[in-house]
Amino acid sequence: MVTTASTISSANYGVHIELITEVISWRKKRTSWGLMQSAYACSCAEDDYKPKEKILSLEIFSNNDYDVTHPKNTDLSLYFNVKQNSGTVSIAKYLESIKEFNYLARYAFDEGVFLQVPPNINKKHKFKFKMTLSDGRILEAETTEVELI
């Protein structure tokens, strides 16, 4: 469920990350089938665009103290899981799986990143997501402030 409410149950809190990418492609030479008439040519798989850079890490920070061991601006990524198929996995495991399967970067984190551990100091948080790419670039985005109950 998508909401714009400023108060959300911490058990249901998640963030959808949408990567807007530039697709650069080239034209492949057309394959000609010598034994088939063109009217009966088979349908080839569509071109897949492979990412030039890999996603190395995703770190998540809060603007407020989260718990005793996580004051503001410390990495909270262990407190979040990524939805993958019918379950969720840790961010580290998810990043490893997309490397193994050469997953298309523009669809990474498409199913959402969900909070697993509720805060116990402050209830209001603005989360900053910091993604590091293999070429050294760092992409950052910030959520609006929410109260997690």
Give the pLDDT score at 108.
80
Pairwise CA distance, residues 137 & 101, whole Å: 22
Q: What is the largest CA-CA distance in the chain?
A: 71
* Residue in this structure with the two tokens 């969900």, named with its chain if needed: 114
Pairwise CA distance, residues 106 & 21, whole Å: 6
Is the pLDDT assigned to residue 30 strictly greater than 70?
A: no
pTM, rounded to two decimals: 0.77
Pairwise CA distance, residues 55 & 88, whole Å: 18
Higher local confidence (pLDDT), 103 or 86: 86
Whole-number mean pLDDT of the chain? 83
- Provide the token pair at 14: 């998640």
Is the pLDDT assigned to residue 45 strictly greater than 60?
A: no
CA trace torsion 68, 74, 79, 84 (10° rounding) = 180
Tell me the β-bridge partners of 148.
Answer: 8
**Residue 56 — very low, low, confident or very high, per pLDDT cuts 50/70/90?**
very high
Distances (CA, A) of 9 to 99, 101, 141, 146: 32, 34, 22, 10
